[in-house]
Structure 1
Amino acid sequence: MSNRQRGIHYFLFFLQIIAASTIAAQHNVKINGKLENETLKYASIEFMGRVYPPDDAAKAELIIPVKNNRFSISIEIDEPEIAILYLETENGFFSQPLFLAKDYQLNLKIAIQHNQLLLETTGIGANDNRRLDIQTDHELKPIVERLDSIPDNIYLELRKLFTKDSISIESHIQTYQPSEAFKTAWRLQYQYSLVRDYVIINETRKTFIPFTYANNKNQWKQIQYNLLRNYPIVNEKAFKAKVPAYFKLIDRIIGIIKDSIRNEYTDPTLFVNEWFGEEIKKEGNSFRPDSQNLFLKKIIDRLFIGDILHYQYALLFRNALAEINMTNLENIYKEYASKYPNSKYLPIFDKSMEDFFSKTTRRFTPAMKFIERRDTIHTFKQLIQLVKGKTILLDMWGTWCGPCRSDISKHSAIIKAHFKNKPVDYLYVANLEEENEKGWKEMISFYQMEGYHILASAALTKDIMNIVKGTGYPTYAIIRPDGSIELSKTQYPMKREVLIQQIEELLK
């Protein structure tokens, strides 16, 4: 272990000890359930707002052991919250919202009739867990598929759903007299459902009908602005109650805000100076704007506070790990950990981060061959002359390309192990990266990408993509030993076995 790795290890271990000593006391909720009239195959509970690294993502949904149509589980919680119970029977899937609070002991008697879930609840907390006539998600497909470009029409449709939900909830409250925490959470649920649904449809309109959307763009934006003013993205009550509609809104809103801010600037230089001026002062011309991790961090710091700020950081960490987006991640994580040593997310992420950071210390090997004088190579034909002689797998990729990084992470080592000691080599052409040589080389060492490497000019990228009929990234092709090209039978997501079989056929 290098001194740098050892330093990271001790740093994260120290923070874990501090954080573990400050975790709030938790309380158990006990749930016993029985399905009366069908065979129960599967049961689980999904929680909102629980963030885990990609390799632990399953923890956000607890699988409940099922035996003889019965299930039982004990859950630790620290605040009253909404959770979703999922059941799979021989005739389909069903869901039921639950409201969980400390020391609840729930007995659920469930039946399926006419494809509907019926529920009888007894025990402590029963009045908070009667059968609800609404679900946490609306069926928006009919509205989405109409492709209506008039925002007022969409808003009126969603208001109808809002009114229906509000009547159902208020009637439920009047009938069963649930707890105050239940009332607060479910009123927030139907309120934020309106905002969440409008934001979702607004984004689909931008994608599917961009030209007609543009005609009413300001009106779309104004309605969304008014909704977010009335139901803001910083709402501690909705956050603590784990309101599903609220979490689905804030889970996606950060990306929408990022794109919106970026699109407001017609001058790229002005954007860089206003958002990255501090880094430019420190690093000068060597600084390259990071439109992902660092930009998201800046938005989080400006817009969010309290528990919601920490949650957004956790999403940033999770997504960066999932997409293997290493740019600035180590500095961001260490700064966050130093600033918020009591964050409950540090014990969750420290092991994954330690493993991730250890890979950034990897070195180049002789098998990583950088093509020299790349500024003289403008055509695919020129490039092929430098590498031909073996069967070569061409990978058109970029450090900025999440799908590219995902394919390299999942498939590269396995493909190379399969063709070990066979006349197969690899050519990685990095695209749209001419000003990112440092990040490009860091990514190559991180993934241990053995093979030929070139940082392509715009002309070279265009020529290769035309020849291999590439329409996006990643794009794959195979170069035969004589320099001729065979188009790949797989693109993203890579069907690894298909590609391996295709190369094997060429080796015969």
Structure 2
Amino acid sequence: MRIIRFILAVLIPVIATAQKKNNDIQITGKITGKIPDIIEYTLPINGIDYFGFTNSVQIDPLGNFKININLEKTSFIDLANQYKSYGTIIAEPGMQYTININTEVSGNSFSVESKNKKGQELYNQIVNRSMIAGGHFETETKDYRKDSLAFEVKQKVEQRRISEIGGFEKLLQNKIISKSFFDLVKTDRDYFHKGILGSVAFINYLSSKQNKNSLPAAEYKKLWEEIFKSNPVTNPALLSSPWFYFYTENYLRYNELILDSTDTAALSEFHKKGLIHTHNINYAKKNLSGLQLEYYFAAYLYYETMNKNYEKELIALFEQFKKEYPQSSYTTFIEPLIIPIITFHARQKEPLNPKIQFIDNNSSVNTVKEVLKSLNKKQFYVDIWATWCGPCKSEFKENPKLYSLLASKEITMVYISIDKENRDKQWQEMIHFYNLEGYHIRANEKLYADLLKLYGSQSFGIPWHFLADNDGDIKQKHVSGPSEIENLEKQLNRN
């Protein structure tokens, strides 16, 4: 008996090691064109694919890289750099993949050599396969926002779903892809298209507050209800889809706004008190459990901290997450984004840079000309931004070079924020945190309308930078931001 126990004690670790090796996948890649320092890849945890839960590997000077992952089941792996997707691999345990990426071409820039090559090619033709590839439920609703009959919306979306899945069904029938490959894609596409319907319902709900909804209330409510009956968030297979978080977010909206009839005014109060994230997580806990809740909680924290709005309550929620899930694999992905929030609030205790000046009586300043003429300077470099604008905040990293260049040209720096009044405190805190030297004003409605008039359309993208003279007249309507300082210098030299 002792001999048998001894043999088992020896064999069990060997069997476990062999099983682990059988689950290993190897991705060998080559990048041509502009070669980044690293390539990032989503790291499936329990088969979960989420754009924020990533690892990375170095790329050698010739563009070569290798990725080794142990998988227990077929999973999506997105390859990207700074949230820009190169392509997606549908990875199966034990398989090897050779990747070619060309960063200088727009089409056919990503190819996969493997046993299921045709399946990989077909999946990467889907432009809305993930958020970092450019997809989202809301953007897909544009073709259905004017439809007034729910069954027509369902019919159109279902036709798109069938069309997408059809190619994979043929590959499965011809044994070009495996059943697990097909099942993963089918579940993902099923839920993605249901998510589109959920967004159509949600947009109609929001539009109904101004009586601008296309679908009658009974129609969009029924449409919303049917989605979660046919495709529940509790389906374990949904966890493997990159759309789990956003689908579940829509489910929670339905529960709160329709089933619980929560007044949006009550939600606005949570916003004003700085407790909206706490409320959202508490509500999620009432409707989710187990792996779904842990994943949603983690994904929520990542998504909100990634936006760099620096809400203080996210620090407390992260501490709460660590306490409730002390062994969670997600913690390591969230923590680096929490640290800047801590730094942000510590910075508020420091003295304000005297080179930061707020323009008085912003409520009565109604035009750009009024803003600039009141400063009595020679010429101006104007930055139109907002606290919620990620690209705006990315530009601020290069501000020291910008300030030096403007000083050499005797140009005055002016920041105009298009934030609403309820973000006034956050606006001032961000100016302090990013040390934005220059004059500041938060646009009222009339000043915002003047900006639209100057831009020449009903909307404009930010950041928007322009040059103006001492009379407040625009000299150059579009100039480069601080991240393109050399180009900006050329533009300034032409004046």
Same fold (TM > 0.5): yes
Q: Is the 8 A contact 2:26 2:97 kept in 1?
A: yes
Cα separation, 2, equivalents of 1:71 and 1:138: 24
User: Who is 2:412 aligned against?
Assistant: 425
User: Who is 2:265 aligned against?
Assistant: 272
Cα separation, 1, equivalents of 2:121 and 2:467: 53
| Counterpart amino acid of residue 376 in structure 2 | K
1:447, distance to aligned residue in structure 2 (A): 1.2
Tell whether 2:73 aligns with 1:80. yes
Specify every segment of 5 or more residues in structure 1 that has no aligned partner in the other structure, as ranges: 1-24, 87-92, 122-128, 280-286
Where in structure 2 are the equivalents of 1:90-239 lying within 5 Å?
97-100=90-93, 104=94, 106=95, 135-136=122-123, 139=126, 149=147, 150-158=152-160, 160-161=162-163, 164=166, 171=173, 183=180, 186-187=182-183, 189-200=185-196, 214-215=214-215, 219=219, 222-223=222-223, 225-239=225-239
Cα separation, 1, equivalents of 2:426 and 2:484: 28
Cα separation, 1, equivalents of 2:114 and 2:419: 60
What is the TM-score when the length of structure 2 is the normalising length? 0.65
Q: Is the 8 A contact 1:388 1:481 kept in 2?
A: yes
User: Who is 2:421 aligned against?
Assistant: 434
Cα separation, 1, equivalents of 2:264 and 2:371: 36
Q: Is the 8 A contact 2:49 2:242 kept in 1?
A: no
For residue 327 of structure 2, the aligned residue among 342, 349, 362 is 342
Tell whether 2:336 aligns with 1:351. yes
Cα separation, 2, equivalents of 1:432 and 1:191: 40
Q: Is the 8 A contact 1:432 1:456 kept in 2?
A: yes
1:262, distance to aligned residue in structure 2 (A): 9.5
1:464/1:388 CA distance change after superposition, 3 Å: farther
What is the TM-score when the length of structure 1 is the normalising length? 0.64
1:501/1:357 CA distance change after superposition, 3 Å: farther
Aligned residue pair count: 427
Which structure is higher in RCO with an 8 Å CA cutoff and minimum separation 6? 1
Q: Which digits, 9 at most, give the CA deviation of each residue in 1:280-300, with x for residues without a partner?
A: xxxxxxx71569755654554
1:481, distance to aligned residue in structure 2 (A): 3.5
Q: Is the 8 A contact 1:323 1:406 kept in 2?
A: no
User: Who is 1:384 aligned against?
Assistant: 372
Cα separation, 2, equivalents of 1:133 and 1:422: 54
For residue 322 of structure 1, the aligned residue among 289, 306, 309 is 306
Tell whether 2:365 aligns with 1:369. no
Cα separation, 2, equivalents of 1:140 and 1:347: 30
1:158/1:226 CA distance change after superposition, 3 Å: farther
| Counterpart amino acid of residue 320 in structure 1 | E
1:139/1:383 CA distance change after superposition, 3 Å: closer
Cα separation, 2, equivalents of 1:288 and 1:481: 39
Q: Is the 8 A contact 1:64 1:73 kept in 2?
A: no
* Secondary structure class of the residue paired with 1:97: strand
1:434, distance to aligned residue in structure 2 (A): 2.6
User: Who is 2:475 aligned against?
Assistant: 486
Cα separation, 2, equivalents of 1:399 and 1:145: 27
* Secondary structure class of the residue paired with 1:247: coil
| Counterpart amino acid of residue 264 in structure 2 | F
Q: Which digits, 9 at most, give the CA deviation of each residue in 1:101-148, with x for residues without a partner?
A: xxx4x46799xxxx9x99776xxxxxxx7985995467489x999879
| Counterpart amino acid of residue 432 in structure 2 | S
1:430, distance to aligned residue in structure 2 (A): 2.6
Q: Is the 8 A contact 1:369 1:453 kept in 2?
A: yes
1:67/1:99 CA distance change after superposition, 3 Å: farther
| Counterpart amino acid of residue 74 in structure 2 | E
Aligned residues: percent identity?
17
| Counterpart amino acid of residue 311 in structure 1 | Y
User: Who is 2:7 aligned against?
Assistant: none
Q: Is the 8 A contact 2:74 2:184 kept in 1?
A: no
> What is the root-mean-square deviation of aligned Cα atoms in Å?
5.2
Point out the more displaced range, 487-496 or 383-392. Answer: 487-496
1:395/1:290 CA distance change after superposition, 3 Å: farther
Q: Is the 8 A contact 2:119 2:168 kept in 1?
A: no
